[in-house]
């Protein structure tokens, strides 16, 4: 940040004014939340200049990452985003019905879906309808709900390009190599067993096809929500896939653990790498597929182990012979679910959502309940969230507030 002359903050009874440097004021302000900063811009011209500075926005974003939110969605209402503080959920776990003033309603159309967030911006997938209510146009908008900015519609393509027998996975990322926001769209043709990846560069509003996807991503009907979506970390977008054969006509009973692979797309070089799952993943559950997630800024692979435990592996170093280390192994009994018998445990699918900074609380989505699980790693105990609304926990994503507006 450029450094203008120091600003003076004087007490009326002081013999001499107390002077704080521009950088020190910026450092102090960077710990404030976005709504407070929007009000503080009205204090004086120098504060408005600080808060609007691009370097300050980057500093504030880094601070905000320490106080993450989960974006929640009510069951059957995808157009309202509910940001809820992770720290409050873990420390207080309040028994509440979420008030209306926590909602951010998607703008720009009555059919609008949130497909991800990045740097405080939401990526919205929208449809334009014709006179007979048939979707004819697909587009994206980028929205910061806290400072109330919305981009124009970008990435248009015809709904005729979306075949009925194709399944889609979307991801919204910031490519550090090009300093550009991008939308990745993975398309699985379950009839032809063919996969295509297209990437929208938001900077120039141009789609580009990335050819030669080396495997077959998991079909949505087997994985449910969340677990098979692309996860982004350190310039790479990662999907869970099956090697060398079609999966659309097979059940889990016919898929072996050694057939799984993680396909990693480098967003800068636009090249694919295949990563093998952990060596400890040697037995496939008949109904519970593995999943990918990001915990503590690491790529993680989670899976059921012999219907008795839930295991999470963390990738440390790409390129070594065994890059995975076991992060957690949790007994289903310690989760204190109400599904204690063998048959019910078979049907309980879990998805890690967040691991606290102190490594003491893991938030898990659970497909058998409308409550997420808060698992305490220190004493191996679990409790359920007490939010009364029915929430689509498998769709929840980590989100941070920011001042970013220029997509």
pLDDT at position 332 is: 87
Residue 3's pLDDT band, with cuts at 50, 70 and 90, is: low
103-124 per-position pLDDT tens digit: 666 554 456 788 889 999 999 8
Three-class HEC string of the chain = CCCCCCEEECCCCCCCCEEECHHHHHHHHCCCCHHHHHHHCCCCHHHHHHHHCHHHHHHHHHHHCCCCEEEEEECCEEEEEEEEEHHHHHHCCCCECCCHHHCEECCCCCCEEEEEEECCEEEEEEEEECCCCCEEEEEEEEEECCCCEECCCEEEEEHHHCCCCEEEEEEEEEECCCCEEEEEEEEEECCCCEEEEEEEECCCCEEEEECCCCCEECCHHHHCCCCCCCEEECCEEEEEEECCCCCCCCCHHHCCHHHEEEEEEECCCCEEEEECCCCCCCCCCCCCCCEEEEECCEEEEEEEECCCEEEEEEECCCCCCCCEEEEEEEECCCCCCCCCCHHHHHCCCEEEEEECCCCCEEEEEECCCCCCEEEECCCCEEEECCECCCECHHHCEEECCCCCCCC
Convert the pLDDT of each residue in 222-250 to its tens digit: 444 544 578 999 999 999 988 866 655 45
User: What is residue 264's predicted lDDT score, i.e. its pLDDT?
Assistant: 94
Q: What is the pLDDT of residue 54?
A: 92
Model confidence at 255, pLDDT cuts 50, 70, 90, reads: confident
Most confident of the ranges 40-54, 98-112, 345-359: 40-54
């Amino acid at each position: 940040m450029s450094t203008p002359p120091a600003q003076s903050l004087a007490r009326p009874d002081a013999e001499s004014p107390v002077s704080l440097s521009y950088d020190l004021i910026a450092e102090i302000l960077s710990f404030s939340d976005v709504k407070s900063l929007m009000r503080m811009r009205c204090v004086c011209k120098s504060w408005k200049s600080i808060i609007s500075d691009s370097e300050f926005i980057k500093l504030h974003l880094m601070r905000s990452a320490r106080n993450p939110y989960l974006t929640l969605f009510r069951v059957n209402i995808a157009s309202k985003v509910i940001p809820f503080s992770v720290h409050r959920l873990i420390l207080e776990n309040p028994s509440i019905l979420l008030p209306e003033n926590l909602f951010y309603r998607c703008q720009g159309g009555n059919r609008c879906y949130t497909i991800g967030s990045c740097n405080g911006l939401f990526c919205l997938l929208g449809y334009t309808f014709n006179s007979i209510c048939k979707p004819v146009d697909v587009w994206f908008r980028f929205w910061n709900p806290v400072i109330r900015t919305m981009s124009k519609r970008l990435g248009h393509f015809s709904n005729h390009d979306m075949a009925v027998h194709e399944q889609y996975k979307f991801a919204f990322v910031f490519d550090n190599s090009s300093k550009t926001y991008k939308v990745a769209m993975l398309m699985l043709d379950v009839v032809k067993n063919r996969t295509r990846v297209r990437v929208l560069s938001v900077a120039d509003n141009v789609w580009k096809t990335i050819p030669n996807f080396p495997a077959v991503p998991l079909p949505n009907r087997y994985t449910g929500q969340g677990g098979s979506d692309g996860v982004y970390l350190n310039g790479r977008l990662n999907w869970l896939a099956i090697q060398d054969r079609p999966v659309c006509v097979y059940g889990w009973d016919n898929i072996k653990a050694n057939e799984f692979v993680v396909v990693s797309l480098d967003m800068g070089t636009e090249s694919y790498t295949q990563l093998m799952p952990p060596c400890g993943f040697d037995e496939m559950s008949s109904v519970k597929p593995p999943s990918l997630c990001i915990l503590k800024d690491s790529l993680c692979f989670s899976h059921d182990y012999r219907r008795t435990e839930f295991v999470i592996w963390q990738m440390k170093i790409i390129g070594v012979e065994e890059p995975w280390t076991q992060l957690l192994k949790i007994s289903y009994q310690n989760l204190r679910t109400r599904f204690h018998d063998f048959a019910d445990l078979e049907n309980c699918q879990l998805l890690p959502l967040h691991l606290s900074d102190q490594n003491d609380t893991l938030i898990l989505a659970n497909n058998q309940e409308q409550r997420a699980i808060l698992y305490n790693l220190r004493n191996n105990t679990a409790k359920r969230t007490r939010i009364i609304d029915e929430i689509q926990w498998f769709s929840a994503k980590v989100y941070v507030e920011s001042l970013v507006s220029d997509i």
